[in-house]
Amino acid sequence: MAASEQKQDDFPCKLAIDIPFPTASLASTALRALSVDKELSPLVRRTFASNDNVLRVNYEASTNRMLRVAVNGFFESVGVVVNVMKDLDVDVYDSPVTEPLDGVQGLVKG
């Protein structure tokens, strides 16, 4: 039986993970960044959803061990994505500018 033809009963181990973000935009960005990497094993399935500022990840696996290995790898990736967001301060792009920009280094008035 091919991996795509496996029955629901072949994936008895399930886990839903909710990861809150400060904004819906950051949750959506994380979804797009994390969903690029496919699961390496056909014994694990993963789906993503984003609702408001929460990223939901649903895992299904054939065994508890396969679930644990997949989720551990996923959390390593989440850590990288969150640290990049923090370092780049991505959430600033979605916020309106409320302070005057006079005297900002590199700003050229046109």
* Mean residue pLDDT across the chain: 83
Domains in the chain, ordered, with CATH? 9-87 (3.30.310.50)
Please state whether 89 falls in left (phi above 0), alpha (psi between -120 and 50) or beta.
left
Q: What is the dihedral of CA 93, 96, 98, 104, to 10 degrees?
A: 30
pLDDT tens-digit map of 47-95: 999 999 999 999 999 999 999 999 999 999 999 999 888 888 644 455 5
pLDDT category at 11 given cuts 50, 70, 90 is very high
Query: From CA 32, how far away is CA 89, in angstroms rounded?
Result: 17
The DSSP element (H or E) to which 19 belongs, if any, is strand 13-20
- Flag whether the pTM goes above 0.75: no
